[in-house]
Structure 1
Amino acid sequence: MTTTRTFRERLRQRELMMGTFLKTPSAIVCEVLGLSPLDCICIDAEHAPFGRMELDSCLAALRAARMPSLVRVQSDSAGEILSALDSGATGLVLPHVVSGEQAAAIVRNSHYSTSGRGYAGSSRAANYTTKSMAQHLHDSGATTTVIAQIEDAHALPHLDAIAATEGIDCLFVGRMDLTLSLGANSPTDAIVVDAVERICEAGIRHGKAVGMFVPGGEDCMDWQRKGATLFLLASDQQFLLDGARALMSKIAPHP
């Protein structure tokens, strides 16, 4: 877990980090994962059934555990971004980012400015009015992490514009949707691998971190060599299934 440098500092310095997805809307699961050696937990509010209260309670548990929390929101709407950050999320994973203009709008909605995120001093992020406005603005500006997920074929011609956007901290590869968007049959098909390499190269050119989900996790070291430093692998659901399978392996199969 991050204890000295912030998660955003570690990410921007391209330190190797590992996290996982949370699919179960449970503060207790968050409390347990907060005891793990993982670098972050990404709440998958895009594909799992997180309402506003479930998201809020999970973020509260992760914050109490001092575990950096990312929220993969359903869309890049200003309202969804505001809700996650006010509830105390460390940062956001924004799905389906396809242009520099979209990336710039996401950054504006994620940070306080004259035309950006709306201010509230009563939120968890502001310590429920106990933090001064000046301090909250400073802390939020320093720690709020914005990750653009690249998962569409029509984003590929715009990689440089997205990666060059000030305030985008990381390009995250959505391998499965990218596979579908490219009309491929597998995330290991050559056309997909080539696209992922292009995303890594764009991140390196513009000094941005690159993250990804690697199906199975076996290729992490290969992608490290190609520039990836943030890996979000598996999920709490996968841990349960793997644990159950491991238990069953302790006994002999029925004759």
Structure 2
Amino acid sequence: MTLKQRLAKRDRLIGTFVKTPSPIIVEVLGLTGLDCLCIDAEHAPFDRLAIDACVAAARAADKDVVVRTPALSPEHVLNALDCGATGIVAPHVRSAEEARELARMSHYGAGGRGYAGSSRAAGYTTRPMAAHRQASAERTVVIAQIEDPEAIDAIDEIAAVDGIDALFVGRVDLTVAYGAESQDDPRVLAGVEAVCAAGLRHGRPVGMFLARIEDVPYWASRGASLFLLGSDHSFLLAGAADLLDRGRA
């Protein structure tokens, strides 16, 4: 079953962010049972070649990988998908029009994703155009990140856009945008609740990052099903801290 199908079924999916532009990190995480990886090209130093190498490593491990692009722009979306990523997490989707543009640039069609049969996604010219276009339509996951007050105000319109496979709450950016001091600020919590409720109303899966893994059951009960938790950096820090604690005990 594809990641797109599992998202649509609301399976509980657990993934993590990859912050280090190294295919070896992706190769190691590919040995785990994580449902997917998210290459964070928005907040980590991934250039086109690093994205390409990391996606190749994920595909070699048969691990689904999505790319959080640096911006909502056709060139970033095209590059990630041509490299063979399972899908896109697009930051700062603020309106239904931006959601429609994201869906358009992520799929083949009039005014949409540019076609190249020479890409990894297309099998380096070994896959007929019709077969590749069908496989892309069936497989490509398009996730709109909701992290601005304007997006919360327009969440029903955004959630109703065809071609968006999931909404993803950027809770940290939402906290900053509201001028709040804590991710548990009532305005932030109300925003997350609004995204979950809109997802349920419009049949749109919802995902999120959570700083506290213990919060997963609560947000799952509110309708969220995709959780990108931690990162390779947090694993290194936690592992080093545990090593020190146990070594000094």
Please tell me the TM-score bracket, short chain as reference. over 0.9
In the alignment, structure 2 segments of 5+ residues that lack a partner are none
Separation in 2 of the partners of 1:90 and 1:192? 30
Q: Is residue 86 of structure 1 aligned with residue 82 of structure 2?
A: yes
Cα deviation for residue 176 of structure 1 reads 0.3
CA RMSD after TM alignment: 0.8
Q: Is residue 50 of structure 1 aligned with residue 42 of structure 2?
A: no
Cα deviation for residue 45 of structure 1 reads 0.1
Runs of 4 or more, structure 1, over 2 Å off, are none
Separation in 1 of the partners of 2:74 and 2:240? 40
Aligned to 2:229: 233
Aligned to 1:9: 5
Cα deviation for residue 216 of structure 1 reads 2.3
The one-letter code of the counterpart of 1:62 is A
Separation in 2 of the partners of 1:173 and 1:155? 10
Secondary structure class of the residue paired with 1:250: helix
Q: TM-score, normalised by structure 2?
A: 0.99
Cα deviation for residue 90 of structure 1 reads 0.2
Cα deviation for residue 191 of structure 1 reads 1.3
Deviations 1:103-160 (A, max 9, x none): 0011110000022101000000001011111110000000000000000011111101
Q: Is residue 157 of structure 1 aligned with residue 142 of structure 2?
A: no
What is the identity percentage for the equivalent residue pairs of Structure 1 and Structure 2? 54
Q: TM-score, normalised by structure 1?
A: 0.96
Secondary structure class of the residue paired with 1:246: helix
The one-letter code of the counterpart of 2:144 is A
What aligned pairs does 1:56-75 form with structure 2 within 5 A after superposition?
56-75=52-71
Counterpart among 173, 177, 183 of residue 173 in structure 2? 177
Aligned to 1:104: 100
Separation in 2 of the partners of 1:156 and 1:13? 24
Separation in 2 of the partners of 1:214 and 1:80? 26
Higher-helix-fraction structure:
2
Secondary structure class of the residue paired with 1:128: coil
In the alignment, structure 1 segments of 5+ residues that lack a partner are none
